[in-house]
Amino acid sequence: MHGPVLKGKGIAASFAATVLSAALSSGSIRAQGKSATDIYLAKCSVCHGTDGAGKTARGKKLKVKDVRETVSKQTAEQMAEIVAKGKAPNMDGYAKDFAADQIKQIVEYYRSLAKK
């Protein structure tokens, strides 16, 4: 009795899952609508701290350097490459999660913390 209805729902559910999977696999769609600040606070501040000082429990364990030291030694381009590719063994790369312009904005936000 419910065969055609369930079959239709199965196709719709399968299609929805495929669309959702494609959307989630695209970094720019996944992060769409989030500001660099939001992304930094969600992904980076666990180690680097909300102020960029790296004084979080995890940051201290990993010996994360203060942003003020980092900006004096690395260009924005070098930092963007690290964000995109990661820094072994403890920092994952985010090239698959965020578009290049988003990574640039995250780095700009992080570097701005050195001025505060």
Residues 35-92 have pLDDT tens digits of 999 999 999 999 999 999 999 999 999 999 999 999 999 999 999 999 999 999 999 9
pLDDT confidence bin for 25, thresholds 50/70/90: very low
Find, among 79, 51, 57, 53, the residue nearest to 66 by Cα.
Answer: 53
CA distances from 62 to 3, 40, 46 (A): 56, 18, 11
pLDDT at 116: 85
Task: With H, G, I as helix, E, B as strand and everything else as coil, classify residue 96.
Answer: coil
Nearest 5°: phi and psi at 55? Answer: -90, 20
